[in-house]
Amino acid sequence: MSLDITPNEEFIAVSLETNNLGIINTKSIGLNEDLNKEIKFSLICKGFHSGAISTIDIAVQRPLILTCSKEDSTIRLWNYKTFACEMAREYYVLEDVNIRETAKPLISVSIHPSGYYMAASFIDKIRFHHILHDEFKHYKNIEIRYCRLMKFSSGGHLFACVEEDNLHIYNSYTIELIHTIKLAVPSK
């Protein structure tokens, strides 16, 4: 939508249609390079989802809400006491801008009751992340594809997820499978 440059010409600020603000280090832009090259920038102020929220979960021990939008392929962490989005991250399979719109891998999210861990479901696996002050740091995977439903237990010691017609229950701290339950599919 618009852009501006800092007085020392070190950074360029960019406002986007999605209500996000980004920053570009001018050193990353080569003056004699291809002008059609995609320039990457960092989000500094996170706005709102540009698509519908597909999943929402709340932490019990911290004032945090985690939201996910399959449409804009983002996860956002909100503080409901300050009414602010504290962190946002976009997820794409492909870096090619022309086909990025069709490469949206994000499906669902769940936050641990402590507010320090989260699980994010993608088309290829479930990824667990530590929630740090400035990033979601990946630490483990479960190889379950297209998981649309997952949840940490209220005590936080268990993690459950549904894969087709199986309910898997894991130890949420070690990510070890405890039990799998075959779900009955209702007949039509």
pLDDT value of position 17: 67
pLDDT value of position 84: 83
User: What's the chain's length in residues?
Assistant: 188
Walk along the chain (188 residues) and give the pLDDT tens digit of each residue: 677 777 777 777 776 666 566 777 777 666 555 566 666 666 665 567 777 888 999 999 999 999 998 888 889 898 888 878 888 888 875 555 555 555 678 999 999 999 999 999 999 999 999 999 889 999 999 999 999 999 999 999 999 999 989 999 999 999 999 999 998 877 66
Segments of 34-176 assigned E as strands: 42-45, 55-58, 64-69, 74-79, 84-90, 106-111, 117-122, 126-131, 136-142, 150-152, 158-163, 166-171
Could you give the count of Cα atoms lying within 13 Å of 149 in the half-sphere of its Cβ?
8
Question: DSSP secondary structure string, 32-64?
Answer: TS-TTS----EEEE----SS---EEEE-SSSSE
Phi, psi of 113 (to 5 degrees): -55, -30
Radius of gyration of the chain (CA): 19
pLDDT value of position 18: 63
43 residue type, one letter: L
Domains of the chain: 2-45 (no CATH), 55-182 (2.130.10.10)
Relative to beta strand 158-163, strand 106-111 is unpaired
Query: How many of the other CB atoms lie within 10 Å of CB of 57?
Result: 20
Q: The whole model's pTM is what?
A: 0.72
